[in-house]
Amino acid sequence: GKTTAAKAIYNQIHPNFEFKSFLDDVNDTTSRHGLVYLQKKLISDILNPMSEISNDVEGIGQIKDKFSHRRVLVIMDNIDKKEQLDAIAGNHDWFGPGSRIIITTRDKHLLLNVDKVYPAQKLKDRESLELFSWHALGNSWPDKKYLEHRI
């Protein structure tokens, strides 16, 4: 639900931004590769060349320095720790005017210093089947054969 919504938002608004990054499954990526890896991905997505960063404090400095005057779109999907948020988008002044930082998380306590919160709403059965159909089958509704096998 949240990841699908984040991808849909990104796909809809990313043409309006010259500088953009979609950080997919931050929780898992951090567990596997660490915060520095995510910072490098963000910087390389926006500026192209891979940046040399040796620790997360240096990464924070580069993000603030390189993006504070740029209008960027950053989507951080599946944040589960404050340290992840602090290392990627710790403060509004890290990014230029008009920037959009979108965060998905199950933990609303991580969203204390954000401008707006949009809680994900549970889909009704019909809506969830339609969403599934678009992603899995490529059309708005499954054919009758699928519906016959549905529990």
Per-residue pLDDT of 72-126, as tens digits, reads: 999 999 999 999 999 999 888 899 999 999 999 988 888 777 778 877 777 788 7
Q: How far is CA 62 from CA 49, 57, 67, 102, in A?
A: 13, 9, 8, 20
Domain count of the fold of the chain: 2
What local confidence, expressed as pLDDT, does residue 66 receive?
85
In contact, 141 and 22? CB cutoff 8 Å: no
User: Strands, DSSP E only, in 25-85?
Assistant: 72-79
* Mean per-residue pLDDT, 37-66: 87
Considering the domain architecture, whether residues 36 and 51 belong to the same structural domain is answered as yes
* Mean per-residue pLDDT, 23-39: 94
Exposed, middle or buried, 63 (CB in 10 Å: 0-12/13-18/19+)?
A: buried
Confidence of residue 151 (pLDDT cuts 50, 70, 90): low
Confidence of residue 28 (pLDDT cuts 50, 70, 90): very high
pLDDT digits (tens, 9 = 90+) for 52-81: 888 999 999 989 988 889 999 999 999 999
In contact, 55 and 34? CB cutoff 8 Å: no
Structural domain including 142 reads 123-150
Residue 45 in this model has a pLDDT that exceeds 60 = yes
Considering the domain architecture, whether residues 80 and 140 belong to the same structural domain is answered as no
Rounded to two decimals, the pTM is 0.75
pLDDT digits (tens, 9 = 90+) for 121-139: 777 887 777 777 777 777 7
CA atoms lying within 13 Å on the CB side of residue 10: 22
Considering the domain architecture, whether residues 49 and 28 belong to the same structural domain is answered as yes
What local confidence, expressed as pLDDT, does residue 33 receive?
96
Considering the domain architecture, whether residues 80 and 133 belong to the same structural domain is answered as no
Considering the domain architecture, whether residues 127 and 114 belong to the same structural domain is answered as no
**Helix or strand (DSSP H, E) at 19:** strand 19-23
